[in-house]
Chain A
Amino acid sequence: MQQNNPNTAKIIKAYAEEKVVTEPGTTTKTHAIDMSNIVKSDVDAKLADEKVCIEITDFNLFYSGKQALKDINMTIPDKRVTAFIGPSGCGKSTLLRCFNRMNDLVDGVTIEGNIKLEGNDIFDKNVNVADLRRRVGMVFQKPNPFPKSIYENVAYGLRIQGIRDRRTIDTVVERSLKGAALWDEVKDRLDDLAMGLSGGQQQRLVIARAIAIEPEVILLDEPASALDPISTLKIEELIYELKDKFTIVIVTHNMQQAARVSDYTAYMYMGEMVEFNDTSTLFTNPNKKMTEDYITGRYG
C-alpha cells in the first residue's frame, strides 16, 4: 500500500475528527464535518461545468405499487465520485441499483421516467442488460467473491466475454489486482480460494473483479460498511485513485466517508432527492434545513 500517500494523512486526521463529533456536548457545533481538513484540490469545479455521465429525469420507482423513488432529477458527472447519503430506507441503494438495472431481478418493480447513460436510455427495450452491466460495474455491501480461486474471480468477467487467451487474462488479472491495491498481498497465492481472504481483501478483490472488465461507471453500495477501520481506509484510498479512470457512484451511511471520498454528494430522504451539490458545499453550507439536520446528527 502507498503508505506515503499524502491523502492518507488527511484521512487519518478525518478519523480523529470523527471522534470529536461523537463526543457528548458537541451539539453546539453547526457542522458535523470540518471540511477544511479534507478539502480536495479539484473540488472547486462546479456541477454545471462537469461532463454528464448519467442523467436521471423525472424518475419514479414502485415496489408492487409502493413508491420508493419520487421524481428524481439529477446528473452524475463523468470521472467524479458522487456519494448518496441518507437514512436507511431512503431509496439511495434502490436508485443506485437502477443504474445497472439490478432492480430488474426484483419482482413487482415498475418504473417511470428515464435514466440515460451517455445519452442513451438504459431502459430502452433494445438495450442488452448484460452489455449495460458490463459498462456499469457494481460492488455490493458485503463482499461476494465467487467460490473460486482469486485468479478465477478476477478472470470471471473476461471469461463471460469469451476471452480465452491465457496471456491476455494474466495481464488483466495482474493489472486489475494492482488497480485494486491487492496484488502485493495475493500475488503468491492466486490459485487459493477467494474465501480464504479477509473481509477487506475480499472487498478489494470484488473491486478488482469489477474493474477487470473496464466499465465506465462503478457503483459502490456501502462498500465499507461490513469492514474494519483499516480496511475501510484502504477502500477509501482506492476510490480516490480509481476516480481518474471511472465514474464512481457510492452509497454510504457514513457521512465522514462521503465527505472524504466524494466530489459531489446527494442527500436523499423518503425516496426524494433533497439536495445535490458539490460535497464541500453540501457539508459546510447546506441549502436545506433537512440536510443540515441530518448531517449535524439532529435527524432521528
Chain B
Amino acid sequence: MKLKIKNWFDTGAPFVWLNAGAVSISIIMVVGLILLIAVRGLGHFWPADVAVFDYYAEPGDAPVRLMGEMVDEEVVSRSRAGNPGYEGETIQRNLIKTGNRDISGLDFRWILDAGIKNKAYPDNSMVVERREWGNLYAFLTSIELDGQQYNNESGNLWDRFQETITKNNGIYADIKHIEKDLIGAINYKMERLRLKERGLELKSQKTPEKVAALVQQREVLQLEYDSYTAELERLYGILNGSSFTAKTAEGKEIKIALAKIVRAYQPNAMDIFDKSIFYLEKFWEFLSDDPREANTEGGIFPAIFGTVLMVMIMAVMVTPFGVIAAVYLREYATQGPTTRLIRIAVNNLAGVPSVVYGVFGLGFFVYFLGGSIDQLLFPEALPAPTFGTPGLLWASLTLAILTVPVVIVATEEGLSRVPRAVREGSLALGATKAETMWRTVLPMTASAMITGLILAVARAAGEVAPLMLVGVVKLAPSLGLDGNAPFLHLDRKFMHLGFHIYDVGFQSPNVEAARPLVYATALLLVMLIIVLNLTAIRIRNSLREKYRAAEQS
C-alpha cells in the first residue's frame, strides 16, 4: 500500500493535480468576483415591477397599504425579526423600496413576508424619478400645464405627461448648459480679471488706464451675464409652469412641479422590449451623467473622466522618467555596488504602502512645491491657494512616483533582452552608442516599456488611499479638462472611481439606495482597468511579434 502511494507520487500526477487545482481556484475566484459585482451592480438598472399590497405588521393589526419594489429577501431567526406574532422558528422578511422619502421619511423598509396580503401589480402604478427626494411611487391623477388641468378623461393623460417631461428635460438641459458652461465661463473670466487686477496691485502697476481697461472688460462680461440670466428666467418660467398630482398607495394626494422630474415610467405595463430599452437608457445615464443626491443617483461620468485623465497624465510623466532611469542604470552606469544599491532601493520603493506616498505627496508636492509655486507664480490669488492645495497634478505626480519602480524594472529587463549581437552589428556600422540606443535598442525594448506601463496603469487606476490626501474629492464642480483656456486645469480637484466606491459605499446617507451603485461602480472600475490593460497588451504583442525573431538570435 505504501509502495503504491510512493509510485503515485513518482508519476508526478499529484503535482499536476495540485497545479491544476491552484489555477482553477484562481480562475474561479476572478470570474466569481466579476460575476458577483456584475450581477449585483447591473441588476440595479432593470425596471422592477411595482407591487401594491396590504401589510399587517402583526396578525390582526390594521393593515397599511404599501407600494414598492421588492429588492431583497432574507430568512432570519424569530428573535432577530423582533418576535412578531407570526408562526415559525425562522421568519422570512423582504426589503422593499417604497420611495416617497418626502412623505414617509424612509425609502426602504424591511417587512415580514407573512404580513403581506392582497398583493397586486396594477398597470397604472407609476415610478417617478426626481431630482430631489428620490423615487416617488404613486398613481397619476392629473397634470397641470400653464394653469390648465388635464385628467385622464380622454385616456391620453400618460402620453401627455411623458411628452411634457421630455420637453421639460430639453429645457432643463438648456438651463444646465447656460448655468454650467456659459455662465461658468463668464465666472471663470471674471475671476481671471479679478486676479489680474490684484496682480497689478501687487506689482504696483495699477494705473488708471489699466484699471479702465479691466472695468470695460468686466462690463462686457456683465452684459453677457445679464443676457443669460434673462434667458434663464424665461426658461425657468416655462419649467415651473407645469406640475402634476398623484395619489400614493395610502391615498394621499401630492402635487409636484414637473421641473423636478427626471423621468416617469410604469414598469408593470412595460413588456420585455420596453424594459430593455429603458435599461439601456438608465445604463447610459449612469455612464454619462453627473451624480445626483449625494452620489446615490444619477451617473458617475466625472469619476470615470477623472480616473482616466489622472491615469493618462501619470502615464505621460512616469514613462519617460522610468525609461530614462532604466537606460542609465543598465546601459551607462558602471555596474557595481552603487547600481546594485540603487536597484534594491527601486525595488523596495515598489513595496512601500501607498498611503505613505500620499503623505509624502501632501507634504512635498502640495505644501512645499505647490506652496512655493503659489508664492512665485500666483501671488495674486493668495491667500486662496492655486497649486498649494491637493489637485490633479499632485495626484498624478504622486502616483507616478508610486509606479516608477515598475516601469524601471520592466524596461531594464527589456534592455537586458536585446542581444549583444544586434548592438555590435549597429556599432560595427559606425553608429555611436547613443545612435545604437536610439535606432535599435530602444525600439526593441518598446514592448517591455509598455509592459511596465500596463502594470503601472493598472496599479494607479486602482489606487485610492494616496489620492484621498492629494486631490480626490467626493464631488468636483468642474472637470479637469474643459473649454476654458488653458483647457487642462491641473490645479483642480477631481473625482475618482475608486474613491467614489468608498464614498458611496461608506459615506452615503442612504446605504440601501447606494449599495447597487457601489457594485456598478466597482464593475466599471474593473472594466476600465481591463480595457486599459487589454489595449496595452495588444500594442505590446504586436511589438513583441515584430522583434521576437531578433531577440532569439
B404-461 interface with A by 8 A CB criterion = 419, 421-422, 424-432, 435, 439-440, 443-444
Question: A33-41, A57-65, A143-151: which lies at the B interface?
Answer: A143-151
Question: B13-21, B115-123, B357-365, B545-553: which lies at the A interface?
Answer: B545-553
Write the chain B residue with the least CB distance to A132: B430
Q: How far is the CA of A146 from the CA of B440 in the complex (A)?
A: 7
B81 to chain A, nearest CB (A): 71
A144-B419, A144-B422, A144-B424 known; A213 vs B549 contact (CB < 8 Å): no
Write out the residue numbers on chain B whose beta carbons fall within 8 Å of the beta carbon of A102. 424, 427-428
A133-B429, A209-B429 known; A142 vs B421 contact (CB < 8 Å): yes
Q: How far is the CA of A166 from the CA of B253 in the complex (A)?
A: 84
Write out the residue numbers on chain B whose beta carbons fall within 8 Å of the beta carbon of A143. 553
Q: Mark A212-236, 1 if CB is under 8 A from B, else 0.
A: 0100000000000000000000000
Write out the residue numbers on chain A whose beta carbons fall within 8 Å of the beta carbon of B424. 102, 105, 138, 140, 144
Partner of B553, one of A138, A142, A157, A209: A142
A140-B424, A144-B424, A160-B435 known; A134 vs B429 contact (CB < 8 Å): yes
Q: Is the CB of A130 within 8 A of B430?
A: yes
CB<8 Å pairs between A and B, sample of 21: A102-B428, A105-B427, A130-B430, A130-B431, A133-B430, A140-B425, A140-B428, A142-B553, A143-B553, A146-B422, A146-B425, A147-B422, A147-B444, A157-B431, A160-B430, A160-B431, A195-B550, A196-B549, A209-B425, A209-B429, A210-B429
Q: Is the CB of A144 within 8 A of B432?
A: no
Q: Is the CB of B425 within 8 A of A137?
A: no
Q: Is the CB of B421 within 8 A of A140?
A: yes
Q: How far is the CA of A102 from the CA of B423 in the complex (A)?
A: 11
Write out the residue numbers on chain A whose beta carbons fall within 8 Å of the beta carbon of B443. 147
Closest 8 A-B residue pairs measured CB to CB? Answer: A195-B549, A134-B430, A147-B550, A144-B421, A138-B428, A157-B429, A144-B425, A133-B430
Write out the residue numbers on chain B whose beta carbons fall within 8 Å of the beta carbon of A157. 429-431
Write out the residue numbers on chain B whose beta carbons fall within 8 Å of the beta carbon of A196. 549
Write out the residue numbers on chain B whose beta carbons fall within 8 Å of the beta carbon of A209. 425, 429
B23 to chain A, nearest CB (A): 33
Known: A146-B422, A147-B549; 6 extra A-B contacts, CB below 8 A, are A105-B424, A131-B430, A144-B424, A146-B426, A146-B550, A210-B428
Write out the residue numbers on chain A whose beta carbons fall within 8 Å of the beta carbon of B427. 102, 105, 133
Q: How far is the CA of A134 from the CA of B432 in the complex (A)?
A: 11
Write the chain A residue with the least CB distance to B428: A138
A117-142 interface with B by 8 A CB criterion = 130-131, 133-134, 137-138, 140, 142
A3 at the interface (CB under 8 A from B): no
A161 at the interface (CB under 8 A from B): yes
Q: How far is the CA of A166 from the CA of B173 in the complex (A)?
A: 57
B428, B550, B553: residue with the most chain A Cβ atoms closer than 10 Å: B428
Q: Is the CB of B553 within 8 A of A144?
A: yes
Write out the residue numbers on chain A whose beta carbons fall within 8 Å of the beta carbon of B439. 156, 159-160
B422 to chain A, nearest CB (A): 5
Q: How far is the CA of A102 from the CA of B444 in the complex (A)?
A: 22
A291 at the interface (CB under 8 A from B): no
Q: A residues engaging B (CB < 8 A)?
A: 100, 102, 105, 130-131, 133-134, 137-138, 140, 142-147, 156-157, 159-161, 193, 195-196, 206, 209-210, 213
Q: Is the CB of A161 within 8 A of B421?
A: no
Q: Is the CB of B431 within 8 A of A137?
A: no
B432 to chain A, nearest CB (A): 5
Q: How far is the CA of A161 from the CA of B435 in the complex (A)?
A: 10
A144-B419, A146-B440, A147-B547 known; A156 vs B428 contact (CB < 8 Å): no
Write the chain B residue with the least CB distance to A215: B430
A144-B421, A144-B422 known; A100 vs B428 contact (CB < 8 Å): yes
Write out the residue numbers on chain B whose beta carbons fall within 8 Å of the beta carbon of A137. 428-429
Write out the residue numbers on chain B whose beta carbons fall within 8 Å of the beta carbon of A210. 428-429
Write out the residue numbers on chain B whose beta carbons fall within 8 Å of the beta carbon of A161. 430
A132 to chain B, nearest CB (A): 8
B490 to chain A, nearest CB (A): 38
A123 to chain B, nearest CB (A): 17
Write the chain A residue with the least CB distance to B423: A105
Write out the residue numbers on chain A whose beta carbons fall within 8 Å of the beta carbon of B432. 130
Q: How far is the CA of A242 from the CA of B427 in the complex (A)?
A: 22
Write out the residue numbers on chain A whose beta carbons fall within 8 Å of the beta carbon of B546. 147, 193
Q: Mark B522-553, 1 if CB is under 8 A from A, else 0.
A: 00000000000000000000000011011001
Q: How far is the CA of A298 from the CA of B430 in the complex (A)?
A: 41
A286 to chain B, nearest CB (A): 33
Write the chain B residue with the least CB distance to A159: B439
Write the chain A residue with the least CB distance to B550: A147
Write out the residue numbers on chain B whose beta carbons fall within 8 Å of the beta carbon of A134. 429-430
Q: Is the CB of A213 within 8 A of B421?
A: no
Write out the residue numbers on chain A whose beta carbons fall within 8 Å of the beta carbon of B440. 146
Q: How far is the CA of A157 from the CA of B426 in the complex (A)?
A: 8
Write out the residue numbers on chain A whose beta carbons fall within 8 Å of the beta carbon of B425. 140, 144-146, 206, 209
Q: Mark B249-264, 1 if CB is under 8 A from A, else 0.
A: 0000000000000000
Write out the residue numbers on chain A whose beta carbons fall within 8 Å of the beta carbon of B549. 147, 193, 195-196
Write the chain A residue with the least CB distance to B444: A147
Write out the residue numbers on chain B whose beta carbons fall within 8 Å of the beta carbon of A140. 421, 424-425, 428
A208 to chain B, nearest CB (A): 12
Write out the residue numbers on chain B whose beta carbons fall within 8 Å of the beta carbon of A130. 430-432
Q: Is the CB of B428 within 8 A of A133?
A: yes
Q: How far is the CA of A131 from the CA of B444 in the complex (A)?
A: 25
Write the chain A residue with the least CB distance to B435: A160
Q: How far is the CA of A214 from the CA of B547 in the complex (A)?
A: 28
Q: How far is the CA of A100 from the CA of B426 in the complex (A)?
A: 13
B330 to chain A, nearest CB (A): 14
Q: How far is the CA of A133 from the CA of B419 in the complex (A)?
A: 20
Q: How far is the CA of A206 from the CA of B439 in the complex (A)?
A: 17
Write the chain B residue with the least CB distance to A209: B429
A199 to chain B, nearest CB (A): 10
B320-335 interface with A by 8 A CB criterion = none
A135 to chain B, nearest CB (A): 8
Q: How far is the CA of A80 from the CA of B546 in the complex (A)?
A: 39
Write out the residue numbers on chain B whose beta carbons fall within 8 Å of the beta carbon of A195. 549-550
Q: How far is the CA of A142 from the CA of B549 in the complex (A)?
A: 13
Q: Is the CB of B429 within 8 A of A213?
A: yes
Q: How far is the CA of A156 from the CA of B439 in the complex (A)?
A: 9
B421, B425, B429: residue with the most chain A Cβ atoms closer than 10 Å: B429
B333 to chain A, nearest CB (A): 13
B424, B435, B440: residue with the most chain A Cβ atoms closer than 10 Å: B424
Write the chain B residue with the least CB distance to A140: B421
Write out the residue numbers on chain B whose beta carbons fall within 8 Å of the beta carbon of A160. 429-431, 435, 439
Write out the residue numbers on chain A whose beta carbons fall within 8 Å of the beta carbon of B430. 130-131, 133-134, 157, 160-161, 213
Q: How far is the CA of A156 from the CA of B444 in the complex (A)?
A: 15
Partner of B426, one of A142, A156, A193, A213: A156
B436 to chain A, nearest CB (A): 9
A203 to chain B, nearest CB (A): 11
A210 to chain B, nearest CB (A): 7
Write out the residue numbers on chain A whose beta carbons fall within 8 Å of the beta carbon of B547. 147
A141 to chain B, nearest CB (A): 9
B421, B424, B425, B427: residue with the most chain A Cβ atoms closer than 10 Å: B425
